Amino acid sequence: MFVRFRQTPHRLQLSLVETRREAGHVRHDHIATLGSIPLTMALTDRLAFWTKLHQRLDALSNRVDATQRGVILGAIHARIPMPTSDDQQAVQLELTQADAKFWEVLAEGQADDIEAHKDLVAAAQRDLGARERAAAEIAAKAEAARDRVARTERGEAVAVPPPLTRKDMLRITGMTAAEMRHCVRVHEIDKHGGLQLLLDEQHRRHRQAEKAVVRKLHRMLVDRP
């Protein structure tokens, strides 16, 4: 019984083979697959390989005795060094550090996201204040307009202001022409019951844009040679 090593372009594959004679000829019978490992044989790869190897040999205890197992392990160790206790400690440290780094980065990302939303809320509150002031002014003008209607109905002579032009509307609301068109469209979408769809689509596109920016900056700052 021996270990057969087969190398592919990227991995080293192992199998357990038993030799027997049949009618004067040597026959090789495949007993079991013992796993494979990348040719780079990094420490983490070796640790994972040897862990699974012992499990596979335990499952073959009815075919492989203690002496044969020792020979098999020795042959494999010659090609794939068995990790030492120090190696295992180093891997555990690397994994725990990577796990801690992952959660630290995630926590930082969440904190940044909260700060960004705070900035959005502050900007929205400032915009809301300006809109409330504009709304109060417009409400006062609406009340004055209703009063003119009532006085006119009573037969009083009332000075009627000239009709507001588009330019007047932009000046009063403080909007640009593009912003006013946008508001009209949003209002029409809301009238047709599509406001929630609009909000969902805005959120989805915001997340897509954010991910695209992250990928671009990662390529520029992290992946650059």
pLDDT single digits (tens) 111-120 = 888 888 888 8
Largest CA-CA distance found in the chain, in angstroms, rounded: 129
- Give yes or no for a contact between 207 and 117, defined as CB atoms under 8 angstroms apart: no
Q: Provide the pLDDT confidence category of residue 77 given band limits of 50, 70 and 90.
A: very high
Core vs surface per residue 95-130: b (16+ CB within 10 A) or e = eeeeeeeeeeeeeeeeeeeeeeeeeeeeeeeeeeee
Look-up of token digits 């796993």? 35
pLDDT of residue 198: 87
Element (H, E) at 156: none
pLDDT reading at 225 higher than 70: no
Q: What is the pLDDT of residue 224?
A: 67
Contact at 8 Å (CB) between 30 and 60?
no
Q: How far is CA 69 from CA 2, 5, 156, 201, in A?
A: 10, 16, 113, 62
Beta-carbon contacts of residue 158 (< 8 Å; ≥ 6 apart):
148, 151, 152
pLDDT higher than 80, residue 4 = yes
Q: What is the pLDDT of residues 87-133, one digit of tens each?
A: 888 888 888 998 898 888 888 888 888 888 888 888 888 888 877 88
Tell me what pLDDT residue 223 has. Answer: 76
The answer to whether 134 and 172 have CB atoms below 8 angstroms apart is: yes
Residue 153 above 80 pLDDT? Answer: yes
- Average pLDDT for 188-210: 88
Measuring CA to CA, which residue among 97, 53, 73 is closest to residue 2?
73
> What is residue 106's DSSP assignment?
H
